[in-house]
Amino acid sequence: MPLSPDLIDRLPHVEGILNYLAPMPEKPMNLTYDPPPGVPRSTGVPEPHRMTIYDARPVATRLSLDREGVALVEHHSAVRDFYDEDELRRVYYPEAERLVAEVTGASRVLVFDHTVRRRVWGGIDRAVGIPRQPVTAVHNDYTVNSGPQRVRDLMGEEAEELLRHRFEFVNLWRPIRGPLRDAPLAVCDATSVAFTDFVPCDLVYRDRTGEIYRVKYNANHRWFYVPEMRADEAMLIKCYDSAPDKARFTAHSAFEDPTAPVDVLPRESIELRTLVFHGS
């Protein structure tokens, strides 16, 4: 059942700055590596807007991955060290595949990537020698073009048959250490976003070019976050869905919580990227 405006207006909330994409005539571009001298890392200009960001906990059971594009679940992981790559693949990947399959009803789930982020004050994401940093630009990880292409990249000879059926990309995001108060993740209710708000953006790697969506400001956007999110909580975020009658893309961004203490512990988080298949 969709969330009513009256219910949302009664939710606890904070006011936070979200960095949208300023209007520009050309297609924006982000480099994933340190650029050579004189070359910008990104051509997109941020347009900050102060937005109301609602506490998702009181309505967590009402949120639907297929409607709002986000779900909040309790999940106690058996992982002891999220910085141990072998343990992640041996323990956390199978846990995540089971969890995402349960939530989505999928016939098959594949974890194909993960990113651990550890906040370094003043650090630039993807800079040499710096851990991956929270992303403070409103974005979505896939586009109408890059979603199917990523299936082809990952699934080889199976891809064309799999593309005949419904598939999704769902991220599983959680704090490594909680309660998390530094740079929490804000997620935009997919029902409040127009498709025209999404702007394709090239994501340039050294060996390939992908495509994500940056997002234009729209006063209708309705944002949620989970204050003081615990390590035994996880957020599922719909980043692509081939089904036209479901939430297809979910804008999201880290933001600075104005209620966080000055001596807040730096954010540590992990996100898994999963490929979700339905049908045979």
CA separation, residue 207 to residues 143, 203, 210, 213 (Å): 19, 11, 10, 20
User: Which residue spans within 242-267 are E strands per DSSP?
Assistant: 252-254
Kindly report whether the peptide bond that precedes residue 179 is cis, defined as omega within 30 degrees of 0.
Answer: yes
Chain CA centroid to CA 210, Å:
16
Give percent above pLDDT 70 in the chain.
100
Q: By the 8 A CB rule, do 73 and 47 touch?
A: no
- Joined tokens for residue 177: 């250490």
Return d(Cα 273, Cα 115) in angstroms, integer.
9
Task: Please count the structural domains in the chain.
Answer: 1
If residue 154 lies in a helix (H) or strand (E), which one and from where to where? helix 146-155
Return d(Cα 211, Cα 202) in angstroms, integer.
5
Q: Is 17 left (phi over 0), alpha (psi -120 to 50) or beta?
A: beta
Return d(Cα 88, Cα 212) in angstroms, integer.
26
Q: Confidence band (pLDDT; 50, 70, 90) for 129?
A: confident
- Strand-pairing partners, residue 229, are 180
Return d(Cα 14, Cα 2) in angstroms, integer.
22
126 pLDDT exceeds 90?
no
User: Which residue spans within the chain are E strands per DSSP?
Assistant: 13-21, 29-31, 46-55, 70-74, 108-118, 139-140, 167-175, 185-188, 198-204, 209-215, 223-225, 233-241, 252-254, 268-277
Chain CA centroid to CA 243, Å:
19
171 pLDDT exceeds 70?
yes
- Joined tokens for residue 109: 């789930």
Return d(Cα 198, Cα 212) in angstroms, integer.
9
pLDDT tens sequence across 53-81: 999 999 999 999 999 999 999 999 999 99
- Joined tokens for residue 242: 């081939």
Residue type, 212: I
- Measured from the Cβ of residue 17, the count of other Cβ atoms closer than 10 Å reads 15
273 pLDDT exceeds 90?
yes
Mean pLDDT (whole number) for 268-273 = 98
Q: Confidence band (pLDDT; 50, 70, 90) for 280?
A: low
178 pLDDT exceeds 70?
yes
170 pLDDT exceeds 80?
yes
User: Which residue spans within 4-79 are E strands per DSSP?
Assistant: 13-21, 29-31, 46-55, 70-74
Return d(Cα 84, Cα 151) in angstroms, integer.
27
Mean pLDDT (whole number) for 233-253 = 98
Report the CATH number that the domain containing residue 46 is assigned in CATH. Answer: 2.60.120
- Joined tokens for residue 189: 């209710």
- Joined tokens for residue 139: 């974005």
Q: Measured between alpha carbons, how far apart are the two ends of the chain, in Å?
A: 29
